[in-house]
Amino acid sequence: MSTFDAAEPVLVRHAHQPLTEQLAARFAQRIRARLLAPGTRLPSVRECARQQGVSPATVVVAYDLLQAQGLVEAHRQRGFFVRDHALSGGPAAAVPPRVATVSQATLSSGTAFNATALIRGMFHEPAGRPQPGAGTLPPDWLETTFMPAALRKVAGAAQATQAGLRYGEPMGDGELRRVLARKLSGLRLPASPDQIITTLGATHALDIVSRSLLKAGDPVMVEEPGWSVEFARLAALGMRVLPVPRRADGPDLEVMARYCEAHAPKLFVSVSVFHNPTGCCLSPAAAHRVLQLAHRHDFHVVEDDTYGHIAPEHATRLSVLDGLQRSIYVSGFAKILAPNWRVGFLAAPQPLVERLLDTKLLSTLTTPSLLERAMALCIEQGHLRRHAERIKTRLDAARARSVRLAQAAGGVFAAEPAGLFGWVDMGVDTEALALRMLDLGYLLAPGTLFHATRQPSTLMRINFATTQDAAFWDALGPGSDAVAHGRSGV
């Protein structure tokens, strides 16, 4: 049974399996499923004994069993840590010191696996139990009748059979690119169809940009806190990540300026609208200064507008102000419409298009034309716009309820609640809290996931659409208290 198929049962005394083996098996399952990241510190012996209702001696034996299996290792006077087998059999990654520049080795030992742990957990949601750490809207919010109808209409067309026997257009379905160009013009972003390349989702678009414009060792500025998958992806490509603190109105411009002088970065990756995880939006003044730095220091800006479908059209976007001179606009439809269709796109300055297209062709050849043509139909007939309006109305109500529940549970919002995500300070180590909540079947997104280097955090990201259930917050309160008491040694 998956860790998230249901809340895990308590350890059973006098069962066929000793308590020590039951406890070791529970941790082993999570480690092998990569739901506990390499470098994760297991609860202290005393804390684990209190959590599981067993003696400290039972926990010691269970941890010894895990150590014998090569899944964890003991660090003298620090505790037990999940081993990282990817590092040539070396010791598990300990919490590294905070540094301004983050190397591939540092990221590989922590954030990269944390990101995949969160993603893996998303695919193991228990039936009927929405996950507070999820990065997507609940499936029932995304159900539509117009999408299957559009796909049937496109697939039933006379040319569909022939189209399925050939690769699609290299840049993507021509009709979708024309529709997207008109849609972007509504945002006041001038992009012609021949500046747009379709992709397998927004993440694929970001990957195309990175592989086209960067080489291993190049410095890249990324907002922090930021999307953990982006940290991990850049690390896997061998880039030097330069974390830029994200403020309410945008990135810390003084830090960016210092990086520009010291490291000559090649790229800046930003989420201008409904930033993940804070929900903040970029101010016009900050956007202008970012673009000034980009022109002065000759770097490109990649703007991830994944959450733009639920944002006001007048929200400040770097690409709009820049007119696609030094900026590349990225978006997709997984968050709002069709996660499994994997339809995304990028809009780029004309001089970069051929280079970006070459990378797309080398990585995927082409993208699925039938899905792209069906998506074009959904947009052109206004279905996407009306669906997005319904989602925004529903999300506004969900956000109001989730905020009330979070505050009642002792959470303090570190940023004004907006968009899909909330950035909540629980006052305790949320990575330790996440370990406790796994026992109840809840997947959290602790703050450490959203930093380029592993460091304890009292913050966590919540999904407003999946945290309306009072039962979750009722369970979280005692969990927070237990973590606080465990940290203080009570």
Residue boundaries of the structural domains of the chain: 1-97, 151-381
Collapsed DSSP state (helix, strand, coil) of residue 292:
helix
225: confidence class by pLDDT, cuts 50, 70, 90: very high
* Helix, strand or coil, per DSSP, at residue 418: coil
Do the bridges between strand 300-304 and strand 267-270 make them parallel or antiparallel, or are there none, so unpaired?
parallel
Q: Higher model confidence: residue 173 or residue 10?
A: 173
Q: What is the pLDDT of residue 167?
A: 79
Give the H or E element holding residue 61: helix 56-68
Q: What is the CATH number of domain 151-381?
A: 3.40.640.10
Question: What was the pLDDT predicted at 384?
Answer: 94
1-10, 169-178, 183-192 — which is least confidently predicted? 1-10
Residue of 281, 280, 269, 278 lying closest to 239 (CA atoms): 269
**Closest C-alpha to 459, from 405, 415, 489, 419:** 415
Could you give the dihedral angle defined by the CA atoms of residues 401, 405, 408 and 412, in that order, rounded to the nearest 10 degrees? -90
> Sorting pLDDT into bands at 50, 70 and 90, what band is 8?
low
Return the exposure string of 409-436: e unless at least 16 CB atoms fall within 10 Å of the residue's CB, then b: bbbebbbebbbbbbbbbbebbbbbbbbb
CA distance 153 to 69: 55
pLDDT class for 102, splitting at 50, 70, 90?
low
pLDDT band at 122 (very low <50, low <70, confident <90, very high): low
Backbone angles phi, psi at 139, to 5 degrees: -55, -35
Neighbouring CB atoms inside 10 A of 173's CB total 26
According to the model, what pLDDT value does residue 89 have?
A: 42
Q: Identify the helix (H) or strand (E) that includes residue 84.
A: none
Report yes or no: 342 and 334 within 8 Å, Cβ to Cβ. Answer: yes
- pLDDT tens across 405-417, in order? 999 999 999 999 9
Torsions phi, psi for 268 (to 5 deg): -130, 125
| DSSP assignments along 136-180, one per residue | S--HHHH--SHHHHHHHHHHHSTTHHHHTTS---TT--HHHHHHH
Span 369-397, pLDDT tens digits? 889 999 999 999 999 999 999 999 999 99
Q: Are 405 and 467 in contact, with CB atoms under 8 Å apart?
A: yes
Q: What is the residue-averaged pLDDT of the chain? A: 85
On whether the CB atoms of residues 452 and 241 are closer than 8 A, the answer is yes
Q: Which residues, listed in sequence order, are joined to residue 270 by a DSSP beta bridge?
A: 303
Instruction: Classify residue 278 by its DSSP letter.
Output: T
| Pairing state between β 79-82 and 240-245 | unpaired
> What tokens appear for 302 in the block?
């990649």
**Residue 393 exposed, middle or buried by CB count within 10 Å (0-12, 13-18, 19+):** exposed
Q: For residue 392, which amino acid is it?
A: K
Q: Which 8-state DSSP code applies to residue 386?
A: H
The CATH class for the domain spanning 1-97 reads mainly alpha
| Average pLDDT over every residue of 245-273 | 95
Strand locations in 238-390 (E): 240-245, 267-270, 300-304, 327-332, 344-347
Alpha carbons within 13 angstroms on the beta-carbon side of residue 370 total 18
Nearest 5°: the CA angle 85, 89, 91 is 90
